[in-house]
Amino acid sequence: MIICQTLSSMIGGILVTRTGHWKPVMLVGSLLMVVGLAGLGLIDHSTGYLWAAISMALAGAGVGMLIQNIVLAVQNTVDVKDIGAASATVAFFRSLGGAVGVAALGAVLTHQVAAGVRERIGGGAGADAGGDTTDLDLSVLPAPVREAVHNAYADGFGYVFLISAAIAVITVVCILVAREAALRTTVSMQPSAPENSLDE
């Protein structure tokens, strides 16, 4: 995932530089991200490594095409004196979204794991030990409970990625409706129409 994210970020940056347009690169990136997250959303405890690896690679490639070009697209719409504020705003909302997303999806994962453990071992004493404990040392659990926890986590992560894929569709829609302006070749914003310098 990280390798594909790094490579796609570099390739996407080169394409944007050569073409002067960021929207096509970001659109492809958002579609790759949705496909990759959807693929991860289909995983469960029986899924093979190859499927998970390909899905992670696609998601990483998509994120790589998006993460820097979002900043570029915003910076391209403001004058040089406002670039600092615009970049800080992007960073703020990115951090806020990350914090909220991790908290919300973490809560979903916790619920899914607890429910999965209870379902697999019938809600007895072992279910309480596996589903409600904060101790991550699974070696102290009996083998059937340990396997139930492993499987519950694997299935729970699939559900979390499926939610992420559904949310990522919003990214595709936002890029489609975004108005693209070709990358400017000057530091400062240029007036849309030349000013008349002659006094009449």
Domains and CATH numbers, the chain: 2-177 (1.20.1250)
Q: Which of 68, 87, 86, 75 is nearest to 15 (CA)?
A: 68
pLDDT of residue 119: 83
Q: How do the pLDDT tens digits run along the chain, 200 residues long?
A: 999 999 999 999 899 988 888 899 999 999 999 999 999 999 988 889 999 999 999 999 999 999 888 888 888 888 888 888 988 999 999 899 999 999 999 999 998 888 888 887 765 544 444 444 445 566 667 777 788 888 888 888 999 999 999 999 999 999 999 888 777 766 666 655 555 545 54
Q: What is the C-alpha separation between 168 and 39, in angstroms, rounded?
A: 13
Q: Which residue has the tokens 């960073």?
A: 91
CA-based end-to-end distance of the chain: 63
pLDDT of residue 125: 45
Name the token pair of 161. Answer: 């990625």
pLDDT of residue 190: 62
pLDDT digits (tens, 9 = 90+) for 172-181: 999 999 888 7
pLDDT digits (tens, 9 = 90+) for 117-163: 888 776 554 444 444 444 556 666 777 778 888 888 888 899 999 99
